[in-house]
C-alpha cells in the first residue's frame, strides 16, 4: 500500500496494491500493522457506515465533538466522489484549511481522516456507494457540521453548475466562523 500524507498533518491518502489474474482481482483494504508502520497512528474500527447517494448529492461537512470525535477511513465501493475534509483542530497551523481528493471504485484510493476534522463528499457519478469505518461510535447529541458553501472555505465540490442535493439538516448548518 501507498500512504501519502496530505498537506493536513495526520490525514493520509492510501492506495492499495491491486492484484489481478484470470479470476478477477484482490486487494487488502486495511491492515492495522501496516497502517501503524506507515503512519505512526493507531486505528481500530468501532463502527462502519455505508451510504448510497445519487449524482449531485453533497453530504456536507460533519464531525463529532470533543471526546466523541471520530477518526475515519473512507473508500468508495461503487461510483466516484470528491471527498473533502476541513481541519478543525484548535491551534493547528492548517485550521480552517480543506483538502479534497477524488475517490472511486476504480482508483481504489482511500482517505484516512484523523479526529478533529469535518468530513463531506459530493457524488460525481449516477450513484456512489461510500463506506467509512470509524474508530468511535456516532453520538447524535455530539454531532456538528459546517455549511457546504461557506465562502471562507471556498470548496470546489466538482459539480460545476449543477445544483447540489442536500438534506434539510445540511442546508441549515452554520458557517465555520459561527461554530467555534
Cβ-contact 97, 8 below 8 angstroms: yes
The DSSP output letter for 161 is: T
Give me the mean pLDDT over the 3-21 stretch: 97
Which of 72, 95, 99, 104 has its CA nearest to residue 85? 99
Give me the mean pLDDT over the 153-157 stretch: 97
Residue 76 CA to residue 86 CA, distance in Å, equals 19
Give me the mean pLDDT over the 20-46 stretch: 96
Give me the mean pLDDT over the 39-58 stretch: 97
Q: Does domain 2-178 have CATH number 2.60.120.10?
A: yes
Which of 4, 153, 120, 108 has its CA nearest to residue 53? 120
For residue 180, pLDDT beyond 90: no
For residue 75, pLDDT beyond 90: yes
- Positions annotated as catalytic residues are 62, 132
pLDDT digits (tens, 9 = 90+) for 107-146: 999 999 999 999 999 999 999 999 999 999 999 999 999 9
Instruction: Delimit the domains of the chain by residue range.
Output: 2-178
Residue 37 CA to residue 85 CA, distance in Å, equals 23
Give me the mean pLDDT over the 81-105 stretch: 97
pLDDT of residue 85: 98
pLDDT of residue 13: 98
Cβ-contact 106, 70 below 8 angstroms: no
For residue 3, pLDDT beyond 90: yes
Q: What is the overall mean pLDDT for the chain?
A: 97
pLDDT of residue 47: 97
Amino acid at each position: 500500500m501507498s500512504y501519502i500524507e496530505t498537506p493536513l498533518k495526520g490525514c493520509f491518502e492510501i492506495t492499495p496494491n491491486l492484484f489481478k489474474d484470470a479470476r478477477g482481482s484482490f486487494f487488502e483494504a486495511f491492515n492495522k500493522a501496516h497502517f501503524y508502520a506507515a503512519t505512526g497512528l493507531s486505528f481500530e474500527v468501532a463502527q462502519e457506515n455505508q451510504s448510497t447517494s445519487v449524482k449531485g448529492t453533497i453530504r456536507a461537512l460533519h464531525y463529532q465533538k470533543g471526546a466523541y470525535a471520530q477518526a475515519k477511513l473512507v473508500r468508495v465501493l461503487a461510483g466516484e466522489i470528491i471527498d473533502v475534509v476541513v481541519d478543525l483542530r484548535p491551534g493547528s497551523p492548517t485550521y480552517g484549511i480543506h483538502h479534497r481528493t477524488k475517490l472511486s471504485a476504480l482508483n481504489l484510493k482511500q482517505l484516512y481522516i484523523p479526529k478533529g476534522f469535518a468530513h463531506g463528499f459530493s457524488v460525481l457519478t449516477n450513484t456512489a456507494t461510500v463506506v467509512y469505518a470509524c474508530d468511535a461510535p456516532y453520538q447524535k447529541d455530539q454531532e456538528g457540521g459546517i455549511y457546504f458553501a461557506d465562502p471562507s472555505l471556498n470548496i470546489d465540490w466538482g459539480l460545476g453548475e449543477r445544483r447540489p442535493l442536500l438534506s434539510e439538516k445540511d442546508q441549515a448548518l452554520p458557517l465555520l466562523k459561527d461554530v467555534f
